[in-house]
């Protein structure tokens, strides 16, 4: 993997006064995103012509650089401040990333989401179940949730991977399921394809 020195400089400059950004690079974040990235790479489902939608993407800290070779990445997050920092201070030199401040369930966002080849959501615990998004697509998906009920903002945690699978849309076929332990609980990962 090529080292992006400009991104590293941007992260260092921003993190001097933004501990939230540092948390997005925590060992727990790396561990869970690394599993997702490796599974996607093993499935060989994306390439240079692919488009990815990242839902509830926070700063996009780990996922954007991991998939920087794709044609287009659309990151959607409800937090305007986070989107502004990611767009203007972290990834301002990335020309293939669109940043949108919005609720992913807002109907005008569905087109951008369902036209992607891969839909990633590593923060399902922060929003309604994915089956409520009602996508009409043939895209692949990679979704994560967790059982960390005590963390502020976690409104939709699950106790186990079976509970998480119950939140998937009826047209979602799971290809890979995995569990990632961290020092606060367990993250659950489902990767599959809408049929």
CATH number for 99: 3.40.50.150
Question: Cα(172)–Cα(34) distance, rounded to whole angstroms?
Answer: 23
Q: Which residues pair with 100 in a beta bridge?
A: 76
- Which residue numbers in the chain have pLDDT < 50? none
Give the pLDDT score at 75.
97
What is the model's pLDDT at position 112? 80
| Residue 141 and residue 193 in contact, taking contact as beta carbons nearer than 8 Å | yes
pLDDT reported for residue 3: 66
Rounded to 5°, angle at Cα 35 from 34 and 38: 80
0.85 exceeded by pTM = yes
pLDDT given at position 156:
97
On the 0-12 / 13-18 / 19+ scale of CB atoms within 10 A, 172 is buried
Question: In a 3-state reduction of DSSP, which class is residue 44?
Answer: coil
What is the structure's pLDDT at 134?
Answer: 83
Helix locations, 68-168, DSSP H: 80-85, 110-114, 161-166
Residue 66: left (phi > 0), alpha (psi -120 to 50), or beta? alpha
Considering its fold, how many domains does the chain have in total? 1
Strand (E) positions, the chain?
Answer: 51-55, 72-77, 97-101, 118-121, 140-146, 172-182, 185-194
Which of these, 150, 148, 156, 146, lies nearest to 179 by C-alpha position? Answer: 146
Count the helices and strands in the chain (H runs, E runs). Answer: 7, 7
Domain that residue 92 falls in: 5-194
Segments in 16-107 forming alpha helices (H): 19-23, 27-43, 63-66, 80-85
Paired tokens of 154: 């976690």
């Amino acid at each position: 993997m090529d080292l992006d020195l400009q991104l590293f400089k941007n992260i260092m400059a921003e993190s001097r006064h933004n501990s939230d950004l540092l948390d997005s690079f925590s060992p727990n974040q790396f561990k869970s995103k690394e599993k997702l990235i490796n599974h996607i790479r093993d499935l060989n489902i994306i390439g240079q012509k692919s488009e990815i939608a990242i839902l509830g993407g926070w700063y996009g800290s780990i996922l954007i650089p991991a998939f920087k070779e794709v044609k287009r990445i659309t990151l959607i997050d409800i937090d305007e401040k986070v989107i502004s920092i990611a767009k203007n201070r972290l990834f301002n030199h990335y020309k293939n990333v669109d940043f949108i401040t919005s609720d992913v369930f807002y109907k005008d966002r569905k087109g951008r989401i369902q036209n992607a080849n891969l839909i990633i959501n590593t923060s399902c615990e922060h929003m309604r179940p994915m089956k409520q998004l009602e996508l009409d697509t043939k895209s692949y998906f990679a979704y994560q949730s967790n059982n960390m009920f005590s963390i502020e903002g976690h409104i939709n945690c699950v106790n186990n991977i079976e509970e998480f699978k119950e939140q998937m849309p009826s047209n979602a076929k799971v290809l890979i399921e995995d569990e990632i332990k961290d020092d606060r609980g367990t993250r659950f990962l489902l990767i599959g394809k809408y049929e």
